[in-house]
Structure 1
Amino acid sequence: MSASSATELSENYRAYRENNNYIIAAKALFIWDYIITLDNEVRYVWGRKPTIATILFLLNRYVVLACMLFQLIVLGGTEVSCNSIVRIVQTLVVISLFVLAAFFSLRIYATWGRDWRPAVPILLLALVSPVANVWIYSQSTPVVAPFPAVGCAQYFIHDITVYSRLSIVIRTTTIASEFLVVLFTFVKAVGSRKSRHFNEQAPLFMCIIRDGTLHFLLMLTLNVIQLGIATVPGAPNILSYVITPLSSILISRFLLNLRQVNDVVQRDATTLFMNTTILSARQFHSEVIIGNLGESLYWGSGSEYSSSRGKVVNTTQDLSTDHDSLSASPCGDYEMNRLRNRDEGTETT
């Protein structure tokens, strides 16, 4: 083995170990949050009447968890098992991306009182990522990862520049969809401030937080920073390993907060029923189908609470993109491109 080959192999192994450390840290972050919020999930989700909000929560949470389990299996993949394992993980990635698209669009649909006009452009932009991933997976072949990596990889049959350009398109449309979510939520919050019974001295910023804008703004900021780092040659894009599990965490916590708000609303509605009259059939129909995706958030027992239902009552990602990956989802790129061989077009897990 020549000195140059030995140096290259050593550098590849160093990058492989470094990537593994980042990936383990990202997994630990997600699992830690899952453990500390499991009691709230049991309390506010399990055993309750199913709505779109709860279905999105369960898909977002457990598709990511399934991805992590299969990522561990991928590490021990062989020539026989790699094809089936990789295809399963790819399917989970696409599902998680569709969940994100649904979450973004339904959130705006609910807060705008069943108005699809602001939700449609968000949905179309968010759908670019899963559709592009379906195409890229159809143009890839699962293989065993080349030495010194272990596990499975995917071989992209086209030139690597096609992959890179498509990755930029996905990142751009993801950022655009998240920006529209923040913008439309901000506009709705400003327009409905007077009707929410907020204290006139309360800062507008608190109103925006209660509408959930902070969650979406944080996701947008992370994706913009990550895209900026990715455009700098040789820059270590550490954020890319954290952004997808963090996006999933933010969505799960956001939906848990909404379920918590729903409990308060239901208690208030019960009191109203006992003293005056029942909820209208129109409100009931909305709550069963959409859930409380259009609610404001409840921030602690000492905070002021406000409910806004509109006329009737997303993920990926997408939350978002990963390091040089088209899998802009809470599943991330499932470690399928941890070690890219640019000459041969091979990406490893």
Structure 2
Amino acid sequence: MNTVNLPGSQLQELSKCITNGRTGQDACAALFLYDYCLTVWDEVKYVWRPRRLSISSCAFMIARYGVMTATILTTLPNADSPAVDNAANALRLISIIASEFIVAVRTWAIWNRSRKILITLAVVSVAAVIPAAFIVAESIISTRVVPLAGPEFIAICSLSISNINQGFVVPYVLTILYEFVTLTLSLIQIIKWRRSIPSQVRAPIIDTLWRDGVLYFSFMLVLGFMNIGIVLQQGIPQIRTGGAELQAVLHSILSTRIVLHLAGSTDSRDITAPGCSVYQSSGAIFTSEFATVDRFTRGGIREDG
């Protein structure tokens, strides 16, 4: 491929295409690898070492290694081919669903496995997942590759497009609404605990639940609006892949850290702390079951094993 005889506008488009097309994917890969190196020992300690297959460990693996596989695919030389792009899109969707499942089960457990909360979360989950899955499926079916800087440069400067263009706004909006519901339900219960249990005797796991919930929603809210802006921006279509990859990577990082933080909080100090109780487990868990306000005011401490 000879670029000597290319007009200035085409050279500029080629340069912009290569820069925008690779920067996002490379940055996401570096972010995921950095977090993986920081947390891999905790994963071995709380997920692999117990050697017990559970819903929590399965969701953890899907959220973590689905994104890892998608990240690897997007860094391959033929990442712009329809087959690779479709596989990466499917893996991102599956990983995000697993991440949201972790948050949903955490919310349900915070409410002491209330049947009403379970039904609410199930309805909201179905309402959010079905339209998003339909849009992604339609995108995969209708995907085609178009050159951005001339047919001769399609191998290094191309874009996978589909019949779903600005329709990708819908999954991002549904994700924001879903996460708003789960965060609101979680914080209602957590705030009750924080107000009723003095900080001097409050178990650290309550603060862990508060911090992780607010942090998760804050990141996802900002990222959701950012991706909506990218989808609506017609001038930089190749950055959409980077934005979608970042969404999946942060979902994976934050949701798996929720599991690892809670697993790391179940030490003897938390179990014996007045005002709360935890499930005694050496494996990964979603949350702990806390004593109610009435139990605390009566001085009761319950440990569920």
- The reply to whether TM is greater than 0.5 is yes
Look up the SS of the partner of 1:227 in the other structure: helix
Q: In 2, Cα distance between the equivalents of 1:256 and 1:246? A: 15
Counterpart contact for 1:193–1:207, Cα < 8 Å: no
Counterpart contact for 2:82–2:143, Cα < 8 Å: no
How many equivalent residue pairs? Answer: 271
* 1:185 Cα deviation from its structure 2 partner: 1.3
Q: Cα gap change, 1:76/1:243 in structure 2, threshold over 3 Å: closer, same or farther?
A: closer
Q: In 1, Cα distance between the equivalents of 2:177 and 2:137? A: 20
The letter of the residue matching 1:220 is L
Q: In 2, Cα distance between the equivalents of 1:67 and 1:176? A: 25
Counterpart contact for 1:45–1:259, Cα < 8 Å: no
Aligned residue among 247, 265, 273 for 1:261: 265
Look up the SS of the partner of 1:117 in the other structure: helix
* 1:31 Cα deviation from its structure 2 partner: 0.9
What is residue 343 of structure 1 aligned with on the other side? none
Q: In 2, Cα distance between the equivalents of 1:191 and 1:174? A: 26
The letter of the residue matching 2:153 is P
Look up the SS of the partner of 2:75 in the other structure: helix
Q: In 2, Cα distance between the equivalents of 1:214 and 1:59? A: 21
Counterpart contact for 1:100–1:126, Cα < 8 Å: no
Percent identity, aligned pairs only? 21
* 1:121 Cα deviation from its structure 2 partner: 4.1
TM-score where L is the length of structure 2: 0.70
Counterpart contact for 1:54–1:291, Cα < 8 Å: yes
* 1:232 Cα deviation from its structure 2 partner: 5.8
The letter of the residue matching 1:139 is S
* 1:208 Cα deviation from its structure 2 partner: 6.2
* 1:173 Cα deviation from its structure 2 partner: 0.8
Aligned residue among 107, 132, 136 for 2:135: 132
Q: Deviations over 1:69-97 (max 9, x none)?
A: 22234x2379xxx5654454344233223
Q: Deviations over 1:239-296 (max 9, x none)?
A: 836443233221222221122124x269949xxxxxxxxx9xxx79xx79x9621339
What are structure 1's unaligned runs of at least 5 residues? 270-278, 297-309, 314-349
Look up the SS of the partner of 1:45 in the other structure: helix
Q: Deviations over 1:166-222 (max 9, x none)?
A: 2121121111111112211111212333565544999xx958625633222322233
What are structure 2's unaligned runs of at least 5 residues? 1-5, 290-301
Q: In 1, Cα distance between the equivalents of 2:221 and 2:285? A: 23
Q: In 2, Cα distance between the equivalents of 1:194 and 1:144? A: 59
Counterpart contact for 1:211–1:295, Cα < 8 Å: no
2:75 is aligned with 1:72: yes
Aligned residue among 247, 250, 260 for 1:246: 250
Q: In 2, Cα distance between the equivalents of 1:143 and 1:234? A: 15
Q: Cα gap change, 1:242/1:139 in structure 2, threshold over 3 Å: closer, same or farther?
A: closer
The letter of the residue matching 2:102 is F
Q: Cα gap change, 1:90/1:227 in structure 2, threshold over 3 Å: closer, same or farther?
A: closer
Counterpart contact for 2:169–2:231, Cα < 8 Å: no
Runs of 4+ in 1 over 4 A off after TM superposition: 141-147, 194-197, 205-208, 228-239, 265-269
Q: In 1, Cα distance between the equivalents of 2:145 and 2:24? A: 23
1:18-37 → structure 2 map (5 Å cutoff): 18-19=19-20, 20-37=22-39
What is residue 296 of structure 2 aligned with on the other side? none
What is residue 105 of structure 1 aligned with on the other side? 104
Alignment root-mean-square deviation, CA? 4.3
TM-score where L is the length of structure 1: 0.63
